[in-house]
Structure 1
Amino acid sequence: MGPTDPLFAVLAVGLALGVVRACSRWLPTAPTAGRNAAIDGLRGYLASRQWTAPPSRLFTHCGESSVTLFFMITAFLFVRKLHAARGGFGWGEFFLGRVLRLVPAYALAMGLMFAVVAVESGWTLFEPKRVVAREVAQWLAFSMAGYGLVNGFGGTHLVTAGVVWSLACEWHLYLALPLLGLILGRRAGALPCLVAAASLALAAWQQPHLAVMPAQAAPGPEHPAASL
C-alpha cells in the first residue's frame, strides 16, 4: 500500500468529516446573514493545492477538479447577487470591493516576490530595463497578460507557488459580469460593458477553448505547471 492508495483518501475524508461533525456539535456557530452555509462548507473542502500531478488519478482529480468546482461556486455566488439586485446593481461599489479585497494582499505578495528575485539576482540586471519593466507589469496585472521570468530568474514562479493564474480567471469573471447582468436585466454603463467585452476578447485570445476552461495553469516552456 503506497501513499497514493485510494484508501488514504477515504480515511482522510472520513477524518475530516468526523472533525467537522464534532466541531459543529461542540462549538456551534450561528449562520451569518446572507451567507450560504452549504456553499461555504464546500469551498473549504475544495481549498486544496498541488505542485505536480501525482501518479494516482484519484488524487489528480481531487486537485484539479476541486479548482474547477471552486470557480463554478464563485460564478454561482456572484450571478446570484446580480439576480437578487432587483433595484439595480451597484457596479462602482462592487468593483471597489473587489479591488480592496484582492489588490492589497496581491501587492504585498508581488513586493515580496520581486525582493526575492532581486536578492537571488545579486541586485544585478541580467536583462534590459524595458524587458524587466514589461515582466514586472505582467505580474502586477494579475497575470491577465501572461507571466514568466523576471530578470531571467528561473525560479520566479516558484516564489508564489505558481498559483497566480487563478486570479486572472477571477478578474475575467468580475469584468464580464456587466455583460452577464444584461441577460438578467441589470443594466450597466457603456464603460463597464466595453471593459467586459475587452476582457472576454483577451480571455478568448489567450484560451480559445472557453467552453471548458482548464483547471491547470498554461505555463510557458521555462517552468512546469503548478495548480491550486
Structure 2
Amino acid sequence: MRKNKLGAIVIGLYDLWPAFVVVALLWPLAGTSLFQRVGFESNSARVRAIDGMRGYLALAVALHHSVIYHEFLTTGAWKYPPSAFYGLLGQVGVSFFFVISAYLFWGKLLSAKSSVDFPTLLLKRAFRIGPLYIVAVGAAMVLELVNAQIDYSALATYERAFFNLLLGVFGYVQLSSFGVYLLAGVTWTLPYEWLFYFSLPIMAIFSRHPIARLGMPVALLAFSILMSVGGGSLAYCYLGLFAGGMVCATLEANALLVKMHRHVLSAIALAVLVYIFATYDIAYAPGPMLLCIGTFFLIASGADFFGLLTANRSVRLGEISYGIYLLQGLTFASVFSIAPVRNFAMDNATQYWLVTLMAMVLLVLMALVAHLVVEKPGVSLGNSLVAALRLPAMREAREAAAADAGAWRIRDVSQDNLLTAHNGQER
C-alpha cells in the first residue's frame, strides 16, 4: 500500500492485499438471504470443509484471470501474469480442484459395499456438469456469431461447434479468431476431469485389494513425479494431482489421518500454503504439487482454517463454485465491453481494482442465479432419469426372483426376500 503526494492511497495492480479485500467484501454478500436456497439435497456424505474450500478456489482462479485481463486489454495478449502471487492463485486453485475430484470419486469406490454402477455415475456427472456448461458455451458461441467473422463455409466451424457442446469432454475452441477470451480459457480442465471419470471402471479393479488400493495411486504419483522431473508434459503433473487425491482418500479409508487438534492442523496447512506462494513461481511442478497434496490431506484430517472453511457463508460460496469458475470469462467480457467502465478501469490500477470488485460481485450473483435456475434443476432431472432407468431393471430382478422361487417350489416368498435377491444380483 502506497500514498501519493496528496496522501491518497495508491494501489498497485499486482499488490497482494486487494485480492484479500475483494474476497472479504464478498463475505457479507454470501450471508444474505439470497443464498439460503443454495446447495443440493444429497450432501450428507460430503465433507463440509472441502465444500467451503471450493468457493475460495474458484474465486482465486477468477482473481488470477482478472489481472490477466488487464494485460489483455492493454496489449491484446492473453498470457501468464508477471506476478508470481497472481499466477499461482490460478494454478494452485486448479491443483486443489483436481485433488478434490480424485479424493471424492476414488473415495466412492473405496466405500462402495457392492459393485459401482458406472453408467449411473457418469450419467449423474453429465447432468451435474453439462447443463451449465451448455449454457456458458452456448452464450460464448452466440457472442462470437454476433461479434466475429465466422467462416460458415468451412466444415471446421461446424465441427468446433459440435465438439464444444459435448459437455466439456473436448473443452472449448473458439469458432473464429475473435479477440476476446469469452470463457477465460477455464474449460481446459474439464477434459482431464472427464478422463478421470472414464478411467474409474478400470481403477475400480484395484480399489478392492487392500494393497493395490494404496499401491496403485502411490505408483501413479511416483510416475508423475519422475516424468515431471524429466521435463515431461504438464499432463504428468495433473496425473500426480489426481493420484494425490486418491492417496488421501485411501489413507482416510484406512483411518490413517493426522490426529491433531484442528487448530494445529489449520496452522500447519496455512504455513504450507504461505510457503508455496513465497517459494514457487509455478504450481505445476513436483515440489508445489506434493505440498498441495499435503495441504489437502491436512484439510481432510480436520484443518478448517480456524473455522473459515466450515462457516455457512464459505459453504454457500462452495456450492456455487462451478458457476463462479465457469462464468468468470463471460462476466469480465460483459463488464469490460462497456466503454465508459473499461476506460475508467484502465486509467489506473486503483480504479481497475474497483471495477474488478464490481465484476466479482456480478460474477457471484450470476453464479447464484445459474445454480438455482440451471444446476439444481439439472441435478434433479438427472436423478429422476436415473430413477426411471432403474425401475425396469428392478422389475426384471423381482420377476426373475419370483420365477426362480416358483421353479424351486418356494410357495411363500416375502418382499424382503425379493429385495435380497435383487441386491444379490446387483452385487
Which band: TM-score by shorter chain? 0.5 to 0.7
Larger radius of gyration: 2
Q: RCO higher in 1 or 2 (8 Å CA, sep ≥ 6)?
A: 2
Deviation string 1:96-155 (CA, Å, 9 cap, x unpaired) is 101111222222223222222222247xx52534121222123223564465331xx322
Residue 76, structure 1, aligned to residue 103, structure 2: yes
Q: Summarize the Cα distance change of 1:149–1:110 in structure 2 as closer, same or farther, 3 Å threshold.
A: closer
**What amino acid sits opposite 2:54 in the alignment?**
R
Contact 1:148 1:157 in 2 (8 A): no
From 156, 162, 179, give the equivalent of 2:185.
162
- Partner in structure 2 of residue 5 of structure 1: 15
Matches within 5 A, 1:188-227: 208-213=233-238
After superposition, the CA RMSD in angstroms is 3.6
Equivalent position of 1:104 in the other structure: 131
**2:146 matched to which residue of 1?**
119
Closer/same/farther in 2, CA of residues 133 and 79 from structure 1, 3 Å limit: same
Q: CA deviation at 1:5?
A: 2.8
1:102–1:145 Cα change, 3 Å: closer
1:39 partner amino acid:
I
Q: Deviations over 1:189-223 (max 9, x none)?
A: xxxxxxxxxxxxxxxxxx9553212979xxxxxxx
Identity among equivalent positions (%) equals 28
In structure 2, the gaps of 5 or more residues are 2-11, 37-42, 69-79, 210-231, 239-281, 285-327, 330-427
In the TM superposition, residue 161 of structure 1 has moved relative to its aligned partner by: 2.4
Query: In structure 1, what is the equivalent of residue 165 of structure 2?
Result: 140
Alignment-mate amino acid for residue 175 of structure 1: F
Q: Taking structure 2 as the reference length, what is the TM-score of the superposition?
A: 0.38
Give the distance between the partners of 2:22 and 2:119, measured in 1 at CA: 43
Question: More helix by proportion, 1 or 2?
Answer: 2
Deviation at 1:81, TM superposition (A): 0.8
Q: CA–CA distance in 1 between the matches of 2:134 and 2:18?
A: 38
> Which residue of 20, 36, 53 maps to 2:47?
36
Aligned mates of 2:206, 2:15 — CA distance in 1: 46
Displacement of 1:68 after TM fit? 0.7
TM-aligned CA distance change 1:44 to 1:215, over 3 Å: same
Q: TM-score, normalised by structure 1?
A: 0.66
- The secondary structure found in structure 1 opposite 2:181 is helix
Distance in 2 of aligned mates of 1:33 and 1:98? 18
Structure 1: state its 5+ residue gaps.
Answer: 187-206, 217-226
Aligned residues: 186
Question: Contact 2:81–2:87 at 8 Å: present in 1 too?
Answer: yes
Secondary structure of the equivalent of 1:58? helix
- The alignment partner of 2:186 has SS state of coil
1:69-115 deviation digits (Å, cap 9, x = unpaired):
11111110111011110212111210110111122222222322222
For 1:57, the equivalent position in structure 2 comes to 84
